[in-house]
Structure 1
Amino acid sequence: MNTNLILDVDSYKVSHWLQYPPDTTAMYSYVESRGGRYPVTVFFGLQYILKRYLTQSIEPWMVEEANRLLTAHGLPFNYGGWRYIAEDLQGRLPVRIKAVPEGSVIPVHNVLMTVESTDPKVFWLVSWLETLLMRVWYPITVATQSWHLKQRIYQSLCRTADDPDGEINFKLHDFGARGVSSGESSGIGGLAHLVNFQGSDTVKALVYGQQYYNCPMAAYSIPAAEHSTITAWGREGEVLAYENMLTQFAKPGSVLAVVSDSYDLWNAIDHLWGDHLRAQVLDSGATVVIRPDSGDPVAIVAQTLERLEACFGSTLNSKGFRVLNAVRVIQGDGVDEESISAILEKTESLGFSTTNLAFGMGGALLQKVNRDTQKFAMKCSEVTVEDKAIPVYKDPVTDPGKTSKKGRLSLVKTDSGYGTVPTSSEDLLQVVYENGHLLQDQCLDAIRQRAWPLIRVNVPAS
């Protein structure tokens, strides 16, 4: 079902068509990260917005509905302009969008995409679309945070693991579907995380990968217990719950995860897993991932590793770090950038390889970000008035950090990386959308390669 794209707008923009200089015929705007938590961003998610929304046609019923609603709302609706788009332009939006290829890792303060009008009669459409297009901040920010976490985990793997490149893709698992504001957020944010990793429990991300990024299967998961599947056996049946997990899922080469803190994590490790079920775990040929789910993450993970080693033993890898036999640990409670770093540091200090660890991240991955995390903005930098192109910008004396760029912009390669310059023939921005048509259709695999050239497409054993 088509939504009314005209109504996806901030109220104040509805009257802007009357506020520009007379004889304005063109507008040009750009999007950038003006700084923020991370020094570089991973560009991702524009293709979703274009496919899902801007390839729809504006239909007459949309104009009539918007006219009724926005006029009653107290605003001067541009009825003639929208009827022109719906009828004379066959509903196609007369704008051109250029953007850096998705997956590109670009330093902040650089142009990432531009939007310009292609029809002088409705130049104001560029500003109208800001509300919708600016939401690209969300997938970019999720992909950016995930990318930086991947860097941190990968560094630890390089120090402590035999095969960092082979392991990294499944070290940060998305647990965030239930913690976001909507199903759409879980799809967009979940897929943004999968630019960097290949483990996820957010099924909507798989669907979005298929629908919008030409990816038959964007991520993988494993059988895993939750507290209800353990506590349903009763406290006295806790060991039977664990035994059932082994019976159902522990096959040679398989991986399964079992939450083990329903009652007493230490008893579960020392006696249930490490005594009653030890032989079954070792004989199964499976890898059993123990999930502690309460307490201080750093202390709990450290003690879990030590107790599991006491029960199952370990071997030294080529870098002199210990790797547990048959068991691993996934921490999914209280996981954020700070706790991941602290856990990795503690694990290394104890002589354990990061091979032993995986992380599950929920709200902190998909929900605890906002537009100001990377200070995203879309600003007009040029208008054409009486056939003259005029560079425009803002330069607030009260906040120099909000000074905007002026004129037409290009992103170019420089000796030190990337730079934003006036229009250049070496522009890295590509036309991805024009007059209602998608002109680039990128696939997730290519985006992954761009964001992380070492990434491998690994399918976990079943």
Structure 2
Amino acid sequence: MANRNLILNADSYKASHFLQYPPETARVSSYIEARGGQFKQAVFFGLQMFIKEYLTKPITHADVDEAQAVFATHGVPFNEAGWRYIVDTYNGYLPIEIEALPEGAVVPVKNAMVQVVNTDPNCAWLTSYVETALLRAVWYPTTVATQSWYCRQVILRYMEETCDAVEGIGFKLHDFGARGATTEEAAAIGGAAHLVNFMGTDTLSGLMAARRYYGADMAGFSIPAAEHSTVTAWGRDNEVAAYANMLDQFAGPGKLVAVVSDSYDLWNAIDNIWGEELKEKVEATGGTLVVRPDSGDPVEIVCKTIQRLMNKFGYTVNGKGFRVLPACIRVIQGDGISLQTIEEILAAMKAKQLSADNIAFGMGGELLQKINRDTMKFAMKASAALVANEWRDVYKDPVTDQGKRSKKGRLAVIKDDNGNVKTVREDELGDRNNLMQVVFRNGEVIREYNFEQVRANASVCKAPVAEAEDAIVA
């Protein structure tokens, strides 16, 4: 279960850091960045969820009591006086200021996304204390949103090449990841991050996060769908009846229904059940049956499934010369889907003159779980400190790994004259606009974004083909 005592939402060694700063340290300024990794662009997202969930709720003396009891036997010092000062002076709200990029902004990695500084000189230790919780609140949703964004770039490219229109892009990648996430909170945060780029999801927790923290009345949609148990419960000899029941219950004009069709023999289901016994029923519904294979090599299975459906239901050739199934039938592949396999499937389909219109994808563990902080090499580092009334640069520059060199000074993020996003020192900002704006100060949300603003920010940029391909093979 989530720990709601923010004092204990930290690494143990943070508790001793209040004794380690130079005398007369009044301010510590830190920043968060993605230092590189798999992707060249980052879709910044998720900080607002953390701020609203954790930083708008005050710490109490009971929280301090609990933390004091824990640290007393844990083996590290505890700044009890410092935390009680925050409760007494600020009613338990953290005296910090957070600046951040607009949520949904697409920026090159190696740029500051967030900057944090204490607002009370008695709490210089607080900036770095919140690193553990704050970094986690940024790296995970930003990495999910970024991977989902790159998936969108790949799918969009193939739609532009093989489809007459791309308006359906929002439903081309469906979130199947809820059961594979480590916790419900992870499913909520990651599920919301995916919805920045797409509108298809089965992760209800993600919908609720978008609703609660970004004011999205309904950020995503789903359709009735079968699972193996609802098919196999009918028995192997009644597979036709199981499928017919799905059509009877859910099909109709303008409606979609998905049916997993490989519980026994996918090719028999396509050739004989859907393509013969139930063909007229499928065609007469006025809606769309979405056939779902769920085993085998994804590239081979998808192409073969579409071609065999075309053998039974026919096809048309669109304006770009690619074959498209009739509107009554489509395919969704939800097994073995990743950024790489999406590219491989769509490339194979293109080679066989099959339009991307025929397919949608569902992604589970690859979307919400098979990532970590090093996927984009996220870090939060102190870059400046006010000591004895003088700002000094704070940085690391290890000779053994230049990739871990950190930035110096108070920072700002700008667009240069060529439109490129760059991080500069704040004292060199001049009259240029700082893309990082204050979003939180001393317990108060200063600036927030609704979900449509987030989506609009993420849709502005488009990854070059070569960059998307680099991300796939990284």
Identify the TM-score tier after normalising by the shorter chain: over 0.9
Change (3 A) 1:454 1:169: farther
Structure 1 gaps, min length 5: 456-462
**Which shifted more, 440-449 or 271-280?**
440-449
Asked if structure 1 preserves the Cα contact closer than 8 Å seen for 2:3 and 2:9, the reply is no
Distance 1:194 1:289 in 2: 21
Distance 1:206 1:29 in 2: 32
- SS of the aligned residue for 1:372 comes to helix
Aligned residue in 1 for 2:184: 183
Q: Encode CA deviations 1:381-412: one digit per residue, 9 max, x unaligned.
A: 01111111111110000000000000011100
Structure 1 residues 269-308: aligned runs within 5 Å: 269-308=270-309
Distance 2:61 2:101 in 1: 34
Aligned residue in 2 for 1:351: 353
For 1:370, the aligned partner's letter is: N
Distance 1:182 1:216 in 2: 24
Structure 1 residues 207-286: aligned runs within 5 Å: 207-286=208-287
Select which of 425, 429, 436 maps to 1:429.
436
Q: Encode CA deviations 1:56-95: one digit per residue, 9 max, x unaligned.
A: 1011111111111112111111111100001122111100
Aligned residue in 1 for 2:20: 19
- SS of the aligned residue for 2:304 comes to helix
Aligned residue in 1 for 2:421: 418
Distance 1:440 1:356 in 2: 42
Structure 1 residue 454 displacement after superposition: 9.3
Aligned residue in 2 for 1:458: none
Aligned residue in 1 for 2:451: 444
**Alpha-carbon RMSD:** 1.2
Structure 1 residues 122-133: aligned runs within 5 Å: 122-133=123-134
Distance 2:177 2:457 in 1: 25
Distance 2:209 2:155 in 1: 26
Distance 1:360 1:119 in 2: 48
Structure 1 residues 397-408: aligned runs within 5 Å: 397-408=399-410
Aligned residue in 2 for 1:374: 376
Q: Encode CA deviations 1:256-304: one digit per residue, 9 max, x unaligned.
A: 1000000000000000000000000001111101000000100011110
Aligned residue in 2 for 1:82: 83
Q: Encode CA deviations 1:395-433: one digit per residue, 9 max, x unaligned.
A: 000000000000011100021510111112421101000
Matched, 1:329 2:331: yes
Q: Encode CA deviations 1:236-270: one digit per residue, 9 max, x unaligned.
A: 00000000011111101111100000000000000
Aligned residue in 1 for 2:38: 37
Structure 2 gaps, min length 5: 463-474
- SS of the aligned residue for 1:379 comes to strand
Select which of 121, 141, 144 maps to 1:142.
144
- SS of the aligned residue for 2:219 comes to coil
For 2:440, the aligned partner's letter is: Y
Ranges of 4+ aligned residues in structure 1 off by more than 6 Å = none
Structure 1 residue 2 displacement after superposition: 8.5
Structure 1 residues 85-164: aligned runs within 5 Å: 85-135=86-136, 136-164=138-166
Aligned residue in 2 for 1:192: 193
Distance 1:102 1:294 in 2: 37
Distance 1:103 1:72 in 2: 43
Distance 1:78 1:267 in 2: 69
Asked if structure 2 preserves the Cα contact closer than 8 Å seen for 1:96 and 1:435, the reply is yes
- SS of the aligned residue for 2:374 comes to coil
For 2:83, the aligned partner's letter is: W
For 2:339, the aligned partner's letter is: E
Structure 1 residue 435 displacement after superposition: 0.5
- SS of the aligned residue for 1:187 comes to helix
For 2:146, the aligned partner's letter is: T
Q: Encode CA deviations 1:112-171: one digit per residue, 9 max, x unaligned.
A: 11000100011110010001100110000000000001000000000111111x110000
Structure 1 residue 440 displacement after superposition: 1.3
Aligned residue in 1 for 2:468: none
Asked if structure 1 preserves the Cα contact closer than 8 Å seen for 2:150 and 2:339, the reply is no
**Which shifted more, 390-399 or 446-455?**
446-455
Aligned residue in 1 for 2:470: none
**Which shifted more, 170-179 or 444-453?**
444-453
- SS of the aligned residue for 1:193 comes to helix
Distance 1:104 1:206 in 2: 20
For 1:320, the aligned partner's letter is: G
Instruction: Count residues in correspondence.
Output: 454
Distance 1:86 1:440 in 2: 24
Asked if structure 1 preserves the Cα contact closer than 8 Å seen for 2:106 and 2:461, the reply is no
Distance 1:386 1:365 in 2: 47
Distance 2:3 2:258 in 1: 41
Asked if structure 2 preserves the Cα contact closer than 8 Å seen for 1:2 and 1:56, the reply is no
Distance 1:89 1:138 in 2: 30
For 2:443, the aligned partner's letter is: G
For 1:253, the aligned partner's letter is: G
- SS of the aligned residue for 1:411 comes to strand
Structure 1 residue 9 displacement after superposition: 0.8
- SS of the aligned residue for 2:98 comes to strand
Asked if structure 2 preserves the Cα contact closer than 8 Å seen for 1:43 and 1:100, the reply is yes
Distance 2:104 2:170 in 1: 16
- SS of the aligned residue for 1:222 comes to coil
- SS of the aligned residue for 2:375 comes to coil
